[in-house]
Amino acid sequence: MLKLDTHKISPEQVEAFERDGVICVKNVLDDIWVERMRTAVDKNVLIAGPLEKKGVPRPEGRVEHTSSLWLVDADFRALVFESPMASLAAQVLKSEKLNFLADGFFVKQPKATSRVGWHNDLPYWPIQGWQCCKIWLALDKTNQENGRLEYIKASHLWSKELREGSNPSWFMEPEPHEILSWDMEAGDCLIHHFLTIHHSVTNSSSAQRRAVVTNWTGDDVTYYHRPKAWPFRPLDEIDLPEFNSFKAKKPGEPIDCHIFPKVEVHC
């Protein structure tokens, strides 16, 4: 049995998550965990991830991102099954059941000119339901200069899906809405609902900005086929045994499978 670290958050923080769609939680990971994950990101940023096509170069000046490293990397797997991440997700989702979807990292290199446009996360996942969240873990000091995230307060309550660059008629960017953002230290994290609309600004600093994400769902989430959703490749092109049970999923079924494992948490 793996030892799961837990991190308690207050009822006020859970209330803020439900009201605003995002919270910042300080000092979730200690320096040992932070350095471990920095090393893991630095190693994996140089190689193709388990769901990426090999030999395809990444565009320069963009946000570098890889998904599902827990399948092949012991440090990312430990972050999922041994760190406080699962405990945080279970608390904000108020869920008896917790499934893990995927991890990943985001690296903005110094002077990176690109930004991630306004969007929310639900359109990119093959699921439906309300109890779902992303935990964005800072591995470096994060501020406006080096590419912090900004959120439209309470936009999850609109219950509308927004893909990056889609510009539907109902979305005005971003005024007159209230914007939430935080300066962060390494080891702090953001927890946001899958429907909370957010973006990140460019990294105009001389230092890279690294972050690791984990994605979680609760009791009411079921499988739902979405075009152009994770894993962003035809399933028959992915030769990983963890995908075998996922390939047989039908809409409305629980997402439980080897690629979306249940995680036991006792908060």
What per-residue confidence (pLDDT) applies to 3?
A: 45
Segment 234-262 mean pLDDT: 93
What per-residue confidence (pLDDT) applies to 266?
A: 63
What per-residue confidence (pLDDT) applies to 113?
A: 73
What per-residue confidence (pLDDT) applies to 267?
A: 58
Q: Which two tokens stand for residue 35?
A: 């350095």
What per-residue confidence (pLDDT) applies to 14?
A: 97
Spatial separation of the C-alpha atoms in residues 94 and 219, rounded to whole Å:
9
pLDDT (tens digit per residue) in 104-148: 999 988 877 777 889 999 999 999 999 999 999 999 999 988 889
What per-residue confidence (pLDDT) applies to 62?
A: 63
Q: Which two tokens stand for residue 143?
A: 């501020």
- Please state the φ and ψ torsions of residue 134, each to the nearest 5 degrees: -115, 140
pLDDT (tens digit per residue) in 90-104: 999 999 999 999 999
Average pLDDT value over all residues in the chain: 91
Spatial separation of the C-alpha atoms in residues 104 and 227, rounded to whole Å:
21
- Peptide linkage before 168 cis (omega within 30 of 0): no
Segment 162-191 mean pLDDT: 92
Q: Are 37 and 74 in contact (CB under 8 A)?
A: no
Spatial separation of the C-alpha atoms in residues 215 and 83, rounded to whole Å:
14
Query: What phi-psi label fits residue 237: left (phi over 0), alpha (psi between -120 and 50 degrees) or beta?
Result: alpha
Least confident of 105-119, 162-176, 227-241: 105-119
pLDDT (tens digit per residue) in 193-225: 999 999 998 888 888 899 999 999 999 999 999
Spatial separation of the C-alpha atoms in residues 114 and 108, rounded to whole Å:
9
Q: Which two tokens stand for residue 195?
A: 């429907």
What per-residue confidence (pLDDT) applies to 61?
A: 52
What per-residue confidence (pLDDT) applies to 2?
A: 43
